Structure 1
Amino acid sequence: MKKIKEIMRKKQITYTLFALGGIFIGWLLFSRPTSSTHLPEQTMTHDHEGHSHDLEQDESGVWTCSMHPQIRMDKPGKCPICAMDLIPLKKNSGENTSVDPSAIQLSDEAAALADVQTTRISREKPVKKVRLYGKITPDERSLQSQTAYVGGRIEKLFIEFTGEEVHSGQTLATIYSPELFTAQQELLQAISMNQPQLIQAAREKLRLWNMTNAQIDAVQQSGKASPTVEIKANTSGIVTAKRVNRGDYVSQGSVLFDIANLSRVWAMFDAFEVDLPFLSKGDVVEFTLPAFPGKKFSGKISFIDPIINATTRTARVRVDVTNNRQELKPEMYATAEVDAPLKGYKDMIVVPQTAILWTGKRSIVYVRQPNTSTPTFMLREVELGPALGGAYVVIKGLSDGEEVVTNGVFSIDASAQLEGKTSMMNSSDDNAHPMTGHEGHHMSGMNMNTENKIADTASKHAMFSVNGSCDMCKERIEKAAISVVGVQSAHWDKEKKMVHLQFNPNKTSEDAISKAIAKAGHDTDKYKADDSVYNQLPGCCKYRDKE
């Protein structure tokens, strides 16, 4: 026993025994039977015809980049393009084996969180609602200028202020005129000489100076010449301008008053050039005024200006309105809506505006797939026709009875981008060859075409303040932003005075978009619109405080 203890004290022997014991225990635990005859019957399905059913490769082992979905890696790491951390690719549930591989599937919980809503579309008779803004103006055909037919001094003035109502034949002023006095003496002298021809010539001369036959007869009967003459109103209406005061000297033809008959007025509206094809002479227009809430006025379009304003890109549309009660006053603001049936687009598919995503030349919608256990959506490119206010005519791409997503479209598209499928930011060609892990580690070998495609799919969101006051401002601001190359979408919030942009930073910048909006007449937080452009805006669009 003493010898055995001495041997065990030696460290080399102790270590050797422990190693042998570990090897034996590992052999017992991890050894596999060499013969299949000892396996239970249920394990026999592991190998069948050269492939495995129980050990299929899990898609969760694929890693991608949230900003560049074309990246595919077999392990976590950094994106070779932007160096962001890769995220695991979402694994499909596998419940719907017949679903198109490019379709987007959302769980019921995800669809509820994204507030996804769909609308069943149908064929209908499209009617475009054209919204117009303008103001009331006097009928130019009723404007009269009251002039002095003889030169002289204003002796009396019976109209004291602008806005006073006058009637035809009413005395407006009395003029002291030496020339008229001389002409009356010539008439009296011709009468005393009993020369009919001279009498007729003298009377005609006085009539040319706007003396009435009654006034001439009064001079002839009294035998006295008067150095003053009364100026009579030649129309009824409202004095819109008073140009003289008592004691002023006027020459023949000088304008004393401007008079407008307001029994008929014009409603002058500004129509954008894109809306002009849907407006025609004779169309009935209903409009409202802030001064009379809830009350509607109507008239017919009598004239459309053939020339477009180069600054506002609008044309003037004139509506004749009867104003017997004198309710409509010049310079009142008016808002009109015209329901214009679209000729040539009868029985066409109409889709809500909220369902459409614009990506430059492409317009896409998401269509819900029928007969699927989970919400499944398919991207569809469509060709759009005229805008109908809150909807668009679809010329090609949709069928009657399909369900399109009208709310939560961006959430579905974001899911498509993360899964590397066709989306608003990349076409099917861009997704044909997703980048593998081996290719990702050799980005230096990427060709120029691939780099251009990645640059084209870049997108950036920005927002800044833009001043405006009405829906016409909203259209002008958004059109100015969209006109900049590289801007993918623009939305101006009228309440918060903020514009939200989605643009390609490789093609434009926030500064360039801000300049374009200011050039259209709207101040931004970086640039102020030129005064000459601002002053050309319609009255309802004026947002600057009056000094």
Structure 2
Amino acid sequence: MAAAVGFTAAWFLAGTTTGDSEQAEKAEREILYWVAPMDANYRRDEPGKSPMGMDLVPVYADEAGQDSGQEPSIRINPTVINNIGVKVAPVERRDMNREIETVGLVTPDEGRISHVHVRTDGWIEELHVETRGDQVAAGQALFEIYSPALVSAQEEYLQASRTGNQSLLRAARIRLHALGMSDEQVESLRQRGSSSRLFTVKAARNGYITDLNVRQGMYVQPGATIMSIADLSRVWVVVDLFEGQIAWVKTGQHASMNLPFSATDREWVGEVDYVYPSMRAETRTGQVRLAYDNPDLALKPNMYASVEIAADPHREALAVPTQSIIRTGRGKRVILALPDGRFRPAQVETGLEADGMTEILTGLKEGERIVVSGQFLIDSEASVDASLIRMADEAAETPAMDHGEMDHVEMDHVEMDHGEMDHGEMDHGEMDHGEMDHGEMDHGEMDHGEMDHAEMDHSEMDRGGEDNGPMKHEGMNHEEVHQESGSNGDTQTSAGDETDSKGGRS
């Protein structure tokens, strides 16, 4: 099937070439032989018709590519190039990446989450936030707690401050810090000169209340998480990747993201923030964490995201359009566009593929032009030419048969058909009949009428085992045999007498 397509391409490309100038050019080029468009085995040394009635196609010597060791090139008329829609593109350098497409979930940046605790037991007297999701700002009051231990520590500090005992003052300050008071609150206590019954706890950062575990009036103890605040101005997207993909991903690589179920087509651009060191045994996948800025808070926790990671970047890689690559069972190749309307296949080794481009590792150079449309028809024609040239080379290298080295002693003449053998052209002078067994030779079927015995040397012939009974003498020329017998002495004469006696019996 492939061969038929190839030869059809050859016939089409060659048959559509027109013009006096091109015919003159072809006449000057050396033609190796002529082939049938539909049968690679049908070759002739001159123009003619194939068994199917099609004009034979010439194979030119300059298309063989034998001297350079390259694949054969072909020449196509510009009109044909336009008709079959041949398009070319340059081989160029560009930055390429392995594009990994996956999905993930938006989660808060854990480094931007604050958990609020108390360091002494007490009662929540005032709660300034009501539900999860409430937005708070840094420094905003969250709740007020009454703690007898904290009131006692304030009194000790004020007493030390009045006495001027620096060691006691320093110890009292340390205790207040341990109970959760900041330097600003301690300084406010010193300036005020009196203790406060309620202690105010403030937010450490901007964000949203993600966990709220208390209500106003509740008794709390150290270690309990009162609430949690998450800053969503920067969020994470956690994705799962297969084992083979994890190796391509490195921290700092770019990653684009969009929300497939959102009403907008907005795209966020972030980077790989962290590659988790372990794999999940259940799914054989590993997690990768991506970070994105979220100044307008459009990205919310648990949103479903579609992600594309630009992994394994290749800078200044040699690349061609992916559609130009011809993939076969023996490798990959492209069609090079040469000057003067010539084309030649080139074997290539490819690397990564991205954005419709394929990296070329070997086989091409920057600036060369390759075919991106119509390459399969050209490749079929080039492959046919290469096969025909190889066939011609093999036929030329086949040596002629050397009969001088043949051993006729072991040859079985019994099964041979001598009826069509032309003995007139044979040189019997060198034939050694001494070793031949004529006993089994059937002379009845042999045509001796054309045999020239004048040149045969019967002196060494061993007739002891011959059976001349069925021999037909009607067509034999005995005159020349007797002339030779007279010149060779008694031995030949006795042989002639024996023949006559047998002839009498016949």
Sort the TM-score into its range (normalised by shorter chain): 0.3 to 0.5
| TM-score after normalising by structure 1 | 0.44
> Larger radius of gyration, structure 1 or 2?
2
Query: TM-score w.r.t. structure 2 length?
Result: 0.47
